[in-house]
Chain A
Amino acid sequence: MKKTLLALVMASTLLVTACAGGGNTSHEESSSAPVSEESVPTPVSEESVPAPISEEESVPTEESTPTPHSHEESVPIEESVPAEESSEEAPTSEEAPISEEEPVSEEEETLPPEESTEEDLPSAKLTIRFHVDSQSTEGMAYKKVIDAFNKEYAKFKIKVTASYVARTAGDSAYERQLATDMQEGTLPDIITFDAPNCAAYANSGYLYDISSSFTENEKKAFITLNTYQGKLFGIPIQESSAGFYYNKNLFATAGIDVSNVTVDNPWTYGEFKDACAKLLAKSITPVDMRLDATKDETATYLLYPFIYASGGSFVDTTGKTAIGYFNSDASKRGFQFLKDLVKAGYTSYGIGATDFHTGKVGMYLSSGWTTPELDNKFPTTFPNRDSWGLLPYPKDVKSASANGSWSYAIGNNGRKDKRAVVALLKYLTNKDSSKTVTDATGMIPANKRVETNYQANSPEDVMLQQLIKTSIARPETVGYPQFSSAFSQVISAMRDENDISTLVDNKARVLQDNLDKIKINNI
């Protein structure tokens, strides 16, 4: 009996060695059961083999970038759009677009006839992935844009297929899909990403450097751009901003005059506190700072401008160092201001989600999504726009406001000839496409050329002015999620911590620990 057993064991070891030898050559430990554990490093070493290959593949694609001029001229639609625009654009009363109109039209004169572009744009089957459900309003708008592109570029035999992976809160199905695509080499030609993730995605090689694909004038058309280490990686689809929604009736009761508060002349921190004091004197809860929204990105997004306004910052330019930035004296002043509001009873962690909407709270820090709510859903408190308005962020040593939303980027996949993809990206971000999407979402178009006829000092106008004049992007770091958690932890822990300075120091240290775990690649 023992013989059969021995034979079985030997046969198994033989098989294992054979398999291991077939799988990879650097495999010797295959004598007995522990093999299963010992062999674990093998997937690693094996996986690392294909990596250089894919990098080699990507080298030629970068080599193909030095020919951007040909495809810049080769995009007929985007270039022809400014032609009609130059006349339409004037009423938007922005200095920047007017100055840029001329160069654009100059370039347009040098546009080659269409036949030459036909040679330039090769036929291609492109893929694009969106972060929303295909049946949502936003998803439908994207579908419309893609259909229009397919129709217009059918003459080049370029066809785009869109896929939709709805992002979810917390751990993102969308991001896991990207990682899987990366692993299998099936990254779509165009992907969308949330602006703060730009650095991480660029660092991991998901994004294709489009610095040279867009001319300076084209870049100027956008309110913000997604850059990492000085390179352009993404073009925003639409923009978001935030501010203080306020109840005009309650303000009148408290005798607060906001007629001269504009984006150019916002409240100072002191004036903001004065207004809060006046509201509190009438026993109205002065402001909902959304301090309770620390479970997700909301609190970070709404509150980070306060630290910038105090002259603070979060990380250094490499995005790897937090100590000395996150806990600099200026940053601490910003956090202290928020703590002061809590301490003075101007805001609290226990304000109900609709307390402002039902007229119990004077001001409500929120983003654009609140505008349609106030317009439509609370007729008793807010019958019309005479009863509510939007105030810009207060300023301390400087003005700062929130920005950033989802952006388009070119996926750094194996495709060597990026001309068709660049054409698609330019089409997606042009005036008409931008308008189609923002008409559906109600957000602010990222492309400044989109005509916006917002009334002066209307909420939309305040947000647009803020975006153009005072907005500062969230820190550009590969460890953005780490930063976001550290920030929201400070906000949440502030409630029972009186020593803000120590709290921020501790959190800067924890953030540094987490940033140190990141691999920074040379992109």
Chain B
Amino acid sequence: MAIAALIIFIVFFLIFAVFFAIDYNRRKNSNRKYHKNEVIVALLLLIPAVVLAFFFVVLPIIFSFGYAFTDYDLLSPNDIKFVWFDNFRMLFKEFANQGEIFLSFRNTALFVVLVVPLQITMALLLALFCNNKRRGTTIFKVCFFAPVAVSLSVTAFLWLVILSPNPAGIMNSILKNFGIPAQDFLGNKNTVILWMVIISAWQGCGYQMLIFLSALGNIRKDLYEAASIDGAGPFRKFFTVTVPGLRPTMLYILITVFIGACRVLIQPMLLTGYQDRSMTLSYYMYQQGFTYRHVGYSCAVALVLTIVIGSITFLQRKLLGEKKK
């Protein structure tokens, strides 16, 4: 393992060096030239980041890519055999048989489809609400951002208390006043994804709100003034000035929220445990790798998941991205 890591490290470093050489040569031909000392300093400054990135990003990715083709069992690290595409065959067979991976896929897809529009809309509305110079908006910003700062596991436990199926639980007590009988919010297979969506959107939208806020600040004020002079109302202004101004930010937010949503793990883990009604692809991967100890299989799932998410993200960029001028 150590030798393999060393080899990969050297290869990685050489790739890095080659790119550096290309860049160096290109610069040499242009007007801007580097001083030798500048180059050495730049390299020295890069080394910590490169080494860390290598050990914590590149190496795990390469290893997991390799393990996807093996029968690595968590308990038998000394007995790993190359099994070609067995893991992928099992994976697709299980998908076809509507096994757990199918359920995870279904739940994840449902979650993503619901949470992405909800979270982005909420973030945008909050940003618009906070985007004025009225006194006291800072306190709203702090309030809206607070859930982001709190750990997901903490908020999950808060929501567990709120959504307790006990008739004396907080939400059930509230519903009782309207004559609605006690509900098992997280136990019911029809509502659990919905609640996961609400909790995730509530928790996550504060961060996107901040990004939207800064993007709103960058829209030139004279555009609004010009629109007013042309007699545009607030809605017209929103759609003709604000929305186009937010387009690049919107794409960034769409992609990050989408990727984040595809990786949803902690919410189902803490709210329900590994159950048919709430398992997601990440949770499936985690369960297979760590609980069931099928590391090889889990890596295969990760690889497929990466390919799927990557291609969807690519499509999003192609379809919605800025047209090149």
Contacts and interface: CB of A to CB of B under 8 A. Distances in A.
Mostly, the A contact residues are: helix
Contact of A517 (B81, B90, B169): B90
B63 A43 contact: yes
Contact of B29 (A1, A183, A296, A355): A1
A8 B17 contact: yes
B44 interface: no
Contacts of B7: 16, 19-20, 23, 39, 42
Contacts of B147: none
Given A40-B66, A44-B82, A510-B100, A495 B184 contact: yes
Contacts of A19: 6-7, 10-11
Nearest to B58: A36
A295 interface: yes
Contacts of A292: 165
Interface in A272-301: 292, 294-296
Contacts of B187: 349, 492, 495-496
A43 B78 CA distance: 11
B4 A46 contact: yes
Given A294-B275, A352-B168, A48 B79 contact: yes
A171 B25 CA distance: 50
A503 to B, nearest CB: 10
A87 B47 CA distance: 73
A171 B188 contact: no
Contacts of B42: none
B290 A171 contact: yes
A320 to B, nearest CB: 14
Interface in A484-523: 485, 488-489, 492-493, 495-496, 509-510, 513-514, 516-519, 521
Contacts of B73: 204, 518-519
A493 B271 CA distance: 15
B70 A44 contact: yes
Contacts of B4: 23, 39, 42-43, 46
A171 B291 contact: yes
Interface in B63-80: 63, 65-67, 69-71, 73-80
Contact of A43 (B1, B75, B290): B1
Interface string A35-53: 1110111111111101100
Given A485-B287, A489-B275, A519-B76, A9 B10 contact: no
Contacts of A15: 10, 14
A296 to B, nearest CB: 7
A510 B6 contact: no
A5 interface: yes
A51 B78 CA distance: 5
Contacts of A496: 187-189
A202 B288 CA distance: 20
B291 A36 contact: no
B81 A5 contact: no
Interface residues of B, number: 69
B273 A481 contact: no
A16 B182 CA distance: 66
Contact of A48 (B11, B15, B81, B167): B81
A162 interface: no
A481 B75 contact: no
Contacts of A36: 8, 11-12, 15, 62
Most buried by B among A33, A296, A349, A485: A485
A40 B63 contact: yes
Contacts of B252: none
B17 A182 contact: no
A205 B277 CA distance: 36
B106 interface: no
Contacts of B275: 294, 489, 492-493
Contact of A513 (B74, B100, B276): B100
B273 A296 contact: yes
A441 interface: no
Contacts of B11: 16, 19, 33, 35-36, 39
A183 B77 contact: yes
Interface of B: 1, 3-8, 10-12, 14-15, 17-18, 21-22, 25, 28-29, 62-63, 65-67, 69-71, 73-82, 90, 94, 97, 99-100, 164-169, 182, 184, 187-189, 269, 272-277, 286-288, 290-294, 297
Given A46-B1, A201-B75, A519-B73, 18 more contacts: A15-B14, A24-B3, A36-B15, A40-B66, A40-B69, A41-B82, A43-B4, A44-B66, A44-B67, A48-B81, A481-B291, A485-B274, A492-B273, A496-B189, A513-B97, A516-B90, A518-B73, A521-B76
State the 10 A-B residue pairs at the shortest beta-carbon distance, nearest first. A40-B66, A350-B165, A43-B4, A295-B273, A204-B75, A12-B14, A183-B77, A51-B78, A171-B290, A350-B166
19 contacts: A1-B25, A16-B14, A36-B15, A40-B62, A40-B63, A41-B66, A46-B1, A51-B78, A170-B269, A179-B77, A180-B77, A182-B76, A485-B274, A485-B291, A493-B189, A493-B275, A514-B288, A517-B90, A521-B76
